[in-house]
Amino acid sequence: MLDDHQQGVLFYLIEEAVNNARKYANAELISVELMKGDNVIVVRIADNGVGFDLDVVQTDYDKRSSFGMVNMRERAELLDGTLDIQSAVGRGTIITVTIPLGEVRRSVTDTGPIPLTKLREKVLRDVERP
């Protein structure tokens, strides 16, 4: 099924989605569904909260301090998966994560977590590159 790395990444993705719903949605109900297909794991996080305009949120990240949706998308991509977000003002939000089962391409986490100082050095090197 999922190895420890995959489980950890998926857990943090779900946690981010639930925390966003708790903090911003004013939802009365938050549901988390986990489904296993033949070759995929599908997680669906839904709330009946205030919802939001997806286009506005996706285009205004440079003006905000929160990167929750970017983090969720990156975590899904770490598992070769996809993240689909559906929301509308006044209608709640549905986040669907689809993760393929089987071999996952590994990136930074192959050797375990990177200490923050090393990660900062890597980011600075990447930014300074011509």
Query: What are the residue ranges of helices labelled H in the chain?
Result: 4-24, 54-59, 68-78, 116-128
Please give the pLDDT value at position 81: 95
Could you tell me the residue range of the domain that residue 85 belongs to?
4-128
Q: What is d(CA 63, CA 57) in angstroms, rounded to the nearest whole number?
A: 10
| Residues 53-80: tens digit of each pLDDT | 877 766 655 555 455 777 888 899 999 9
Q: List the strands of the sheet with 30-36, edge to edge.
A: 30-36, 40-47, 93-100, 82-87
- The answer to whether the predicted template modeling score (pTM) of the entire model surpasses 0.75 is no
- Entry field: residues in the chain: 130
Cβ–Cβ under 8 Å, residues 98 and 40: yes
Q: What CATH number is given to the structural domain containing 51?
A: 3.30.565.10
The total number of structural domains in the chain stands at: 1
